[in-house]
Amino acid sequence: MDKLAAYYALRAAEYERIYARPERQAELAVVKARLRKMFAGRKVLELACGTGYWTEVIAPGAAYVTAVDINEEVLRIARSKSYAEYRVSFVQGDCYAPPDTDRSHDALFAGFWWSHVLLSGLDNFIGNATRSVAPGALIAFLDNSYVEGTSTAISRRDEEGNSYQLRTLEDGSRHEVLKNFPAEGELIQRASKHGWGANVELFQHYWLLTWWAPK
């Protein structure tokens, strides 16, 4: 297990508290409504599902959701939640090499994972993700925007341009976490290599990138 996976395993029980911040509630309501509408009736492959916070958001209207994460610690929490019957299945697996589901999904979603991928490996990750769903599928990534004063400060940048944060868990342990904050133009450029119709919705605390996989 790499350092990032180990960090999220340790953080599993406290992960969702980030969504309770008062200043983010109005935006979260808008984003949730947007995702529910976007995935209504669709067969969704969700990568890096974590504790199932966003799975709960999209599952009620989706045809079904296959949610993937590498950590059994977070999947245990995700499975304990209530979902519409037969609409959600959880798979332990690596989002860098998504499980073979015969490209049966017509949508892909990953929340707050793009920012954790090294810049040098981002195109390979996006390509593998896009090829894991049906031709012409809807692709959507949701992640954080950097907001001075509320986002965790960037502690350093490496030679490649990746940025990192130092985070402290409730047990007092400190962890350096890869966390990139791409500009709108970079998002459009990256997505356009792997499909068409790339679009970014910018919020104060979040961004939502969508495009269509090649047919």
The domains located in the chain, with CATH, are: 3-212 (3.40.50.150)
What pLDDT is attached to residue 183?
97
Q: What is the pLDDT of residues 46-74, one digit of tens each?
A: 999 999 999 999 999 999 999 999 999 99
The burial of 132, by beta-carbon neighbours within 10 Å (0-12 exposed, 13-18 middle, 19 or more buried), is given as buried
User: In the chain, which residues have pLDDT < 70?
Assistant: 1
Q: What is the pTM of this model?
A: 0.94
Q: Which residues contact 161 (CB under 8 A, 6 or more apart)?
A: 119
Q: What is the pLDDT of residues 72-95, one digit of tens each?
A: 999 999 999 988 777 999 999 999
